[in-house]
Structure 1
Amino acid sequence: MSVSRTFLTRAAVAGGVAASSVLLLSGTAFAHVSVQPQGEAAKGGYATVNVKVPNERDNASTVKVEVNFPTDHPLASVMPQPVPGWKVEVTKAKLAKPLELHGKKINEAVAKVTWTADGSKIGPGQFQQFPLSLGQLPEDADRLVLKAIQTYDNNEVVRWIEESKEGAPEPGNPAPVLKLSAATGDHHGAAAPADDKAGDKAGHDDKGGEHEEASASSTDSAARVLGVVGILVGLAGIAYGVLAGRRRSA
């Protein structure tokens, strides 16, 4: 009787550890504020991207999201697409060195975009995407770091502003990064599937759907791997319990 109880106890503990491992790894891998698609925006072109904001708290909802744009590579055009239940504010700043875009000098650029809940929230276990049309993307950079600040309705503020360094572990609160690929011939970036009409008006192409599908496929694959890891950990725990029970009965 004691052997049976010992086995069940060990199996339950192993299963709990496996489930906790999957949840912990999933949260670490997928809970960050990010920019989608990643690595598909062409240098020197335009792109429509989504700022993806997951809610990481079980007892609070996200009510405000702020995305800041780099000053070393300012963007002359940043246009948010309306999101139902959220009001948006675009803040501009004067440039020390004017930009030249389509033969015109631009003396100011967008410094940040802020979304504030207006009848909607990002609740526990949910995420929200905020579409942006960006351009003209720099030709002399491989990525844009878009530092974000997430505010919850319990007044907690999470700053996604830490820059990742090559060869170093990922920081606790990494900043969203838009990676830039080689320039295309027509200087048009990839369009995210937020709204085809909005992308067309902004002068973008219609290849974003493929990129988003690839990103989703990558995420699904990672989730499956984590699930398999959890199952293997659980089976290992059960096997350990069986062996321990046999040794005691012997």
Structure 2
Amino acid sequence: MGLVVAAVPALLVATATTASAHVSVNPDSAPAGGYSKLTFKVPNESNSASTTKLQVFLPIDHPLEAVSVQPHAGWTYEVKKTKLTTPLTDHDGNKVTQAVSEVTWTADSATSAIRSGEFDEFNISVGPLPDSGTLTFKTLQTYSDGSVARWIDEDESGEKPAPTLEVAGETVGAGHHEDSGDEGHAADTEEAEAASKTPLVLSIVAIVIAVAGAGLGVIRRRS
């Protein structure tokens, strides 16, 4: 009976691990109108094959004007563009007639492929993001044995959910890539001031404890 009870938690852990081991995008939400760095986390689910290729399909129903790829050591990437039915207008007023529709990373060798029990991460920068909605990045993960994991389910409860990015919240101005420098500087200043006060506070506490200890010693001797 004890063996059966002990096996139940192990089974639950194994099931949870398998269910959560899917290609995902981080962050999973971002403010409208801004730019965002997207990191695709790719775990290897096969016990006998390595992941050798990753294809990420960008939504054309919400085309992204600017897409750039961060080079990944040991992998080669390829970018494909699609002609837009309705051209975009960039912040300079220029017409954008094509948008990136696919980014493919391919391992240069077996050494750089993602082996069993491993994961890897691939980065792109995109923007400006639309005013609202969900961006779905359907993804194909190809293994060394020729099998393909199709992360294309738009329903998150599906067996192979596609990575999704929720766009909502306060709109960020076009061309805004990062948090305000003034806000960041203010936060750094507050942290520095707090850090500088810490030694003083500790010194005062130490003195109070020492004085209290000395007073207690005198009282004991008198008693």
TM range (shorter): 0.7 to 0.9
Residue in 2 that maps onto 1:229: none
Q: Give the Cα separation in 2 of the matches to 1:26 and 1:47.
A: 28
1:183 to 170, 185, 192: 170
Q: Give the Cα separation in 2 of the matches to 1:47 and 1:110.
A: 15
Residue in 2 that maps onto 1:233: none
Determine helix, strand or coil for the equivalent of 2:18: helix
Q: Give the Cα separation in 2 of the matches to 1:180 and 1:34.
A: 16
CA deviation after TM superposition for structure 1 residue 93, in Å: 0.8
- For residues 10-89 of structure 1, the aligned pairs below 5 Å read 10-28=1-19, 30-39=20-29, 41-89=30-78
Asked if the contact 1:50/1:130 (under 8 Å) is kept, the reply is yes
- For residues 187-226 of structure 1, the aligned pairs below 5 Å read 187=174, 204-205=177-178
1:121 aligns with 2:94: no
Q: TM-score scaled by structure 2?
A: 0.75
Q: One-letter code of the match for 1:127?
A: F
Shift in alpha-carbon separation, 1:94–1:34, aligned structure 2, 3 A: same
Q: Deviations over 1:116-138 (max 9, x none)?
A: 00131111111111011001111
Q: Which has the higher contact order (CA 8 A, sep 6+)?
A: 1
Asked if the contact 1:145/1:163 (under 8 Å) is kept, the reply is yes
Q: One-letter code of the match for 1:108?
A: Q
Asked if the contact 1:99/1:106 (under 8 Å) is kept, the reply is yes
Residue in 1 that maps onto 2:148: 157
Asked if the contact 1:48/1:204 (under 8 Å) is kept, the reply is no
Q: One-letter code of the match for 2:26?
A: Q
- For residues 92-171 of structure 1, the aligned pairs below 5 Å read 92-102=81-91, 103-119=93-109, 120-139=112-131, 141-164=132-155, 170-171=157-158
CA deviation after TM superposition for structure 1 residue 69, in Å: 1.1
Residue correspondences, number: 177
Q: Give the Cα separation in 2 of the matches to 1:97 and 1:162.
A: 26
Determine helix, strand or coil for the equivalent of 2:173: coil
Report percent identity of matched pairs.
Answer: 44
Q: Give the Cα separation in 2 of the matches to 1:76 and 1:183.
A: 20
Q: Deviations over 1:86-135 (max 9, x none)?
A: 10000001111100011110000001000000131111111111011001
Q: Deviations over 1:194-237 (max 9, x none)?
A: xxxxxxxxx62159xxxxxxxxxxxxxxxxxxxxxxxxxxxxxx
Asked if the contact 2:33/2:172 (under 8 Å) is kept, the reply is no
| Structure number with larger C-alpha Rg | 2
CA deviation after TM superposition for structure 1 residue 13, in Å: 2.4
Q: Give the Cα separation in 1 of the matches to 2:173 and 2:177.
A: 10
